[in-house]
């Protein structure tokens, strides 16, 4: 599971009525919240303009095939 993203990295996220499919996005900004957790602004390209979504590592994936971080963490935890 990828735990840090850089500006320009590709990230896959669930959006709207996703029907189990992730959507490609690009990380455009990162910031820390009051509790120190890092979050990312992800730009999803659309025909009109990019849609910005704010996500943490547990709701992002490094590829369309790996599943979001939360599911990866659950799978890793079940193998112990």
Query: Tens place of pLDDT for every residue, the chain, 80 residues?
Result: 788 999 999 999 888 777 778 889 999 999 998 889 899 999 999 999 999 999 988 888 888 887 676 655 555 555 54
DSSP 28: E
Burial classification of residue 73, based on how many CB atoms lie within 10 Å of its CB (0-12 exposed, 13-18 middle, 19 or more buried):
middle
Q: H-type helices in 1-80, by residue range?
A: 69-78
Pairing relationship of beta strands 51-55 and 23-32 according to DSSP bridges: unpaired
Is 42 in contact with 31 (CB distance < 8 Å)?
A: no
**Strand spans (E) along 1-80:** 10-13, 23-32, 38-44, 51-55
- What are the boundaries of each domain within the chain? 10-78
pTM: 0.80
């Amino acid at each position: 599971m990828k735990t840090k993203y850089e500006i320009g990295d590709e990230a896959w996220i669930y959006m709207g009525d996703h029907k189990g499919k992730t959507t490609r996005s690009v990380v455009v900004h990162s910031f820390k919240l009051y509790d120190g957790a890092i979050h990312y602004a992800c730009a999803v390209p659309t025909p009109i303009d990019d849609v910005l979504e704010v996500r943490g590592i547990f709701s992002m994936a490094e590829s369309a095939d790996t599943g979001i971080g939360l599911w990866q963490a659950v799978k890793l935890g079940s193998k112990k």
